[in-house]
Amino acid sequence: MITKRIIPCLDVMNGRTVKGINFVNLRDAGDPVELAQNYADVGADELVFLDITATNEKRKTLTELVQRVAQKVNIPFTVGGGIGSVEDVYTLLHAGADKVSINSAAIKKPYLLNELSGKFGNQCIVVAIDAKQVNGSWNVYLNGGRIPTEMDLFEWAKEVENRGAGEILFTSMNHDGTKNGFANEALLTLSELLNISVIASGGAGKAAHFRDTFQKGKADAALAASVFHYGEISIPELKLYLTEQQIPIRI
């Protein structure tokens, strides 16, 4: 049986880890390299770093961060933010990232996913999808949740799978930072629709929420930020709890 994964997410802005609620009201959460090393030490399965205000000018800064992280951790880590070309992906993978996360660029240039999966393999291509439920429909958003589109979450997820994505990182903007649980109904739909891994993001507040997203949402992995950054949930204790709940997890 394939084990479920616990993934701390580090939103990075100007070289620091930050966290907010519903994508706004950001506050400092520490040094990303120090946090990464700590998470690797206590049993995180993977890490995700998202440069939430990335621009081309900051690509050098992000590359340096990847190099520093790669020197400190021995678990897979994904890097995203402002990635828009084959060259960007090559630079980050060469610097030490195991996977890259593509979001807005995939929406603007869907063919990019075909190019990336063809050149690097789909195992290192993660497509991040930020979506909000409005009047019963899940709409995809661009630019870190700032710009709404008319794209449907589920149609877009299926398209990116067909174009070569190896994983989907779905963040519910309705749930992000609220600590009221993940968007399990939408996750279940995604999990049943797709043949690739689905990572749940947005809404973790207690251990039971992770159990629910694995059992009810059928997510392959669960990502969280503030509950880990501020010590509200301990990863070793979370994994013991999930084991007791009969969730296959790596201890």
> In angstroms, rounded to a whole number, what is the distance separating the alpha carbons of residues 187 and 198?
8
Q: Quick one: which of 234, 225, 223, 169 has its CA closest to 46? A: 223
The SS3 call for residue 137 is strand
pLDDT tens-place string over residues 213-230 = 999 999 999 999 889 988
Annotated catalytic residue, options 11, 51, 212, 220: 11
Separation CA 137–CA 155 (nearest Å): 12
For residues 126 and 166, is the Cβ–Cβ distance under 8 A?
A: yes
Domain 5-244: give its CATH code: 3.20.20.70
pLDDT at 74 > cutoff 60: yes
pLDDT at 61: 64
Instruction: Please write the tens of the pLDDT for every residue from 78-97.
Output: 999 889 999 999 999 999 99
Domain definitions of the chain by residue range: 5-244
Q: Cα-Cα-Cα-Cα dihedral of 64, 66, 71, 73, to 10°?
A: 150
Alpha helices in the chain (DSSP H): 32-42, 59-72, 86-95, 104-108, 111-120, 153-162, 184-193, 207-215, 226-229, 235-244
Q: Catalytic one among 88, 130, 176, 212?
A: 130
How sure is the predictor about 31, in pLDDT bands with cuts at 50, 70 and 90? Answer: confident
Amino acid (1-letter code) at residue 73: V
Whether 152 is a known active-site residue: answer no
